[in-house]
Amino acid sequence: MVVLKKSIAPLLILALIALIVQMAFVFETNRAVVFQIPTSDSATYHNQAVRIARGEAEPGKAPFWQPPLYVYGLAQVYRCVASNVGAARYVHGVLGVLIALLTFTIAKRFMNAPVAFACGLGTCLYGPLLFFASQLLPAATAAVLATLFLLVFLALMRRPTGMRAFAVGLVLGLAALTVPVVLVMLLLVGLWLAAAAMKGGAVRTQARFGSLVVAGLILAIAPVTSRNAVRSGSFVPISTNGGINLYIGNNPDMAETVCIRPGTRDWDALVALPYEDGAAASPAEAQSYFLRRVGAYICSEPAGFVGGLLGKAHQLLNGREIPRNIDIYVFRKHSRILSLLAWCGGWFAFPFGIVGPLALLGMIVAFRRGGEGRYIAGFVVLYGLGLVCFFPSSRYMVPMLPALLILAFIGVGGLIGPLPARTRAAYAMLLILAAVVVNLPAALPTDAVAWEAELHRHVGIGLQKRGRLDEALRQYDLALNADEDAAATHYYRGTALLAVDRLDAAESAFRSTLMLQADYAEAMHDLAVVLHRQKRTDEAIPLLARAIEVRPDYRSAMRNLAVALITQGRKEEAERWLQRAQSSKYPVLTPQKKPNKMRIGG
């Protein structure tokens, strides 16, 4: 009983500390509007989870676009908290606690309990991990499952049984339903099975373990694959966003495509590309289209492809937190806690600028020592290579951060432990070299994005959808202060002004949009709405026609043009536009989801 209490006490203390840290961070940030309103991918997950929680049927017959495990889990949380974002973020904090406990449990295999405790505590205080654990994103869920996979896999290595092999596959499959890149861990399992067979283990036994791993994996993924097949008639194991994500990081214009984010017009155009090229009529075919484009690029420009991989590897090792849809360094301005735990200045970035070099040293120490530590290093290497095949970002690194911290503590132990003087000097030199490489300032393609302006714009859109128009307008003003040349911000500001019937100001905002981006079809449409309301329908008609010319799938513009023509007595023309709107050959691939959908004459 005394031994049991001693083994449980550190877990309870760590859980309590981790919970306090997580709850304190969520409590502080729940008061900031940029944390209250889900943006970009968080908004997508939020909206999907709300619909699922309400029991609404999924629209269309498409397979899953994104891995579904997280959004269905979020929907269950929403059923308990009435879709309250702030409450859901507190629940997310529990994921951070689980990460700390799992990390501590694994770390105890390689270091004494107090050091392992510090390692587990490190996950609570690792700024990017704390931040992404609080966001409505699958990153923290993936980190829990990836770390759990590592724990179960190490248990299998220590005492191989069929049940443990099956559990390894099952957990890996669940992790893949949040972040499919984790499937590269099948290579890690395969390496261990091969090594065990080469050391004299029965080949048949290792084959049985391998079969059980695959069986567990299939059991986890099969329901999703079956659902996709039933709904779409296509074989899609998990989701269809893998093709476009692979293409974003592997094409001749990678420096530009990695800056394309969901929620932007460029993203809508990229998603529509397979359909406009006539190469796809379904999401599964669209995924195949992007995979073919990547294959063609590799074959036609192998040097460019390899150079891209090396460049992405360098980005992965850089100390800066690379943004994907959101930039952690913008959010830190709205949180004192985050501002202490994640920052970058000149030749030093915290925390990866410290953890990264120590983890690299830890890999060397682990490989020299042999045993299970090599597989911790292998986990990080394989996951990192998986990211490099797509494109690295701070958010996508989250699932490997617990293992990275374990390696960092192994590196510290290797440096300060009993060593020959020559070995210690070599380790110190390697650490210094790694620190220079990791903290070396690097220009990133995403530096071209005005992240602060984009955050305020997306927050404004979220506020506008919730009917908080005055707050939305303040966010749009902040966005324009950060980037006055953003056409999208002028446009959404115009929609908010239109919603409060400030027609002159809305007209000015839409005209500013078109000055900056002449082919902004939605701005033409909504400017036409303003002009029609101002009894200037003769000016509205050519704008609507131009909007349709720019965007041939713009059915609402066709309908509104018909209404405008009717007010001018041109009923035959109006009838033709109504018929085209009803029978247009262009599918509405990415319908415009504006905060207020204005209709002429409405």
Q: Is the peptide bond before 68 cis (omega within 30 degrees of 0)?
A: no
Q: What is the mean pLDDT of residues 278-306?
A: 95
State the Rg of the chain over Cα: 27
Of 174 and 416, more confident: 174
Cα 592 → chain centroid: 22
Q: What is the mean pLDDT of residues 131-159?
A: 97
Residues 6+ apart with CB under 8 A from 327: 321, 449, 451, 452, 455
Q: For 301-325, what is each residue's pLDDT tens digit?
A: 999 999 999 999 999 999 999 999 9
Domains within the chain, CATH numbers bracketed: 2-236+318-439 (no CATH), 475-583 (1.25.40.10)
Q: What is the mean pLDDT of residues 453-459?
A: 96
- In the predicted model, is pLDDT for residue 602 greater than 60? no
What is the reported pLDDT for 592?
A: 40
Of 551 and 387, more confident: 387
Residue 591's pLDDT band, with cuts at 50, 70 and 90, is: very low
CA dihedral 488, 490, 491, 497 (to 10 degrees): 150
Match 């931040």 to its residue by tokens. 131
CA distance 458 to 483: 14
Strand-pair partners of 345: 348
What is the reported pLDDT for 594?
A: 39
- In the predicted model, is pLDDT for residue 424 greater than 70? yes
What is the reported pLDDT for 384?
A: 97
What is the reported pLDDT for 201?
A: 65
Q: For 237-263, what is each residue's pLDDT tens digit?
A: 999 999 999 999 999 999 999 999 888
Computed over every residue of the chain, the mean pLDDT equals 92
What residue type is assigned to position 220 of the chain? A
What is the reported pLDDT for 332?
A: 94
- The half-sphere exposure of 200 on its side-chain side, counting CA atoms within 13 A, is 0
| Lowest pLDDT segment from 3-17, 215-229, 363-377, 438-452 | 3-17
Long-range (24+ apart) CB contacts under 8 A made by 583-586 are 584/552, 584/553, 584/555, 584/558, 586/552, 586/553
Q: For 6-60, what is each residue's pLDDT tens digit?
A: 678 899 999 999 999 999 999 999 999 999 999 989 999 999 999 999 998 776 6
Buried b (16+ CB within 10 A) or exposed e, 248-266: bbbbeebeebbbbbbbbbe
Residue 146's pLDDT band, with cuts at 50, 70 and 90, is: very high
CA distance 548 to 577: 10
pTM: 0.91
Q: Are 445 and 256 in contact (CB under 8 A)?
A: yes
CA distance 286 to 240: 8
CA distance 375 to 372: 5
- In the predicted model, is pLDDT for residue 229 greater than 60? yes
Q: For 360-391, what is each residue's pLDDT tens digit?
A: 999 999 999 888 999 999 999 999 999 999 99
What is the reported pLDDT for 587?
A: 39
Q: Are 407 and 359 in contact (CB under 8 A)?
A: yes
Residue 582's pLDDT band, with cuts at 50, 70 and 90, is: confident
What is the reported pLDDT for 567?
A: 87
What is the reported pLDDT for 599?
A: 53
CA distance 403 to 152: 14
Share of the chain above pLDDT 90, in %: 81
CA distance 85 to 78: 8
Q: For 93-127, what is each residue's pLDDT tens digit?
A: 999 999 999 999 999 999 999 999 999 999 999 99
- In the predicted model, is pLDDT for residue 5 greater than 80? no
Q: Are 563 and 569 in contact (CB under 8 A)?
A: no
Share of the chain above pLDDT 70, in %: 95
CA distance 122 to 545: 59
What is the reported pLDDT for 219?
A: 98
What is the reported pLDDT for 600?
A: 45
Apex CA 549: angle with CA 547 and CA 555, to 5°?
65
Q: What is the mean pLDDT of residues 193-210?
A: 87
